[in-house]
Amino acid sequence: MKNEKSLIVRNFAFATTLTALSITSGCTPTQYVDSKGTNLVVSMNKVNIQDFEKASEALVASMVESGVLSQAPNQPVALSISRVTNDTSDQFDTDQLMKKIRISLLQTGKVQVTQAVGLGGKVEDPMAKETYEAKRFLAGESQTPVDLPYFTISAKILENSTSAGSTKQVSYIFQMSLANTTSGRLVWEGEKTITKQGEKNAIGF
Residue 23 is predicted with a pLDDT of 46
- For residue 162, being part of any structural domain is answered with yes
Let me know if residue 101 belongs to a domain. yes
Q: Is residue 74 part of a domain?
A: yes
Please check whether residue 3 lies inside any domain of the structure: no
DSSP 201: -
- The reply to whether 65 falls in a domain is yes
Has residue 76 been placed in a domain?
yes
HSE value, Cβ hemisphere, 13 Å, CA-based, for 158: 7
Task: Judge residue 205's burial from the number of C-beta atoms within 10 Å of its C-beta, 0-12 exposed, 13-18 middle, 19 or more buried.
Answer: middle
**CATH at residue 61:** 3.40.50.10610
Q: What is the pLDDT of residues 82-134, one digit of tens each?
A: 999 999 999 899 999 999 999 999 999 999 998 878 787 777 888 887 888 78
CA–CA separation, 51 vs 97, rounded Å?
Answer: 9
pLDDT reported for residue 204: 75
| Averaged pLDDT for residues 133-143 | 79
Tell me, yes or no, if the pTM score tops 0.85. no
Q: Give the closest residue to 116 by CA, choosing from 72, 75, 76, 150.
A: 150
Please check whether residue 178 is in contact with residue 191, taking contact to mean a CB–CB distance below 8 angstroms. no
Is position 182 within any domain? Answer: yes
Stretch 48-72: mean pLDDT, rounded? 96
The rounded distance, in Å, linking the Cα atoms of 40 and 92 is: 18
pLDDT over threshold 50, residue 137 = yes
9 vs 38: which has the higher pLDDT: 38
| Mean pLDDT rounded to a whole number for the chain | 85
- For the chain, give the longest Cα–Cα distance: 93
Label residue 145 by pLDDT band (50, 70, 90). Answer: low
pLDDT tens profile 180-190: 999 999 999 99
- pLDDT at position 4: 52
Q: What DSSP string runs through 44-101? A: SSS--HHHHHHHHHHHHHHHHHHTGGGGSSSSSEEEEEEEEEEESSS---THHHHHHH
Is residue 18 over pLDDT 50? no
Residue pair 77/151 in contact by the 8 Å Cβ criterion = yes
User: What residue numbers bound the domain in which 61 lies?
Assistant: 33-114+149-203
Under 8 Å CB-to-CB from 99, ≥6 apart: which residues? none
Answer yes or no: is 63 within a domain: yes
- Structurally, the chain folds into a number of domains equal to 1
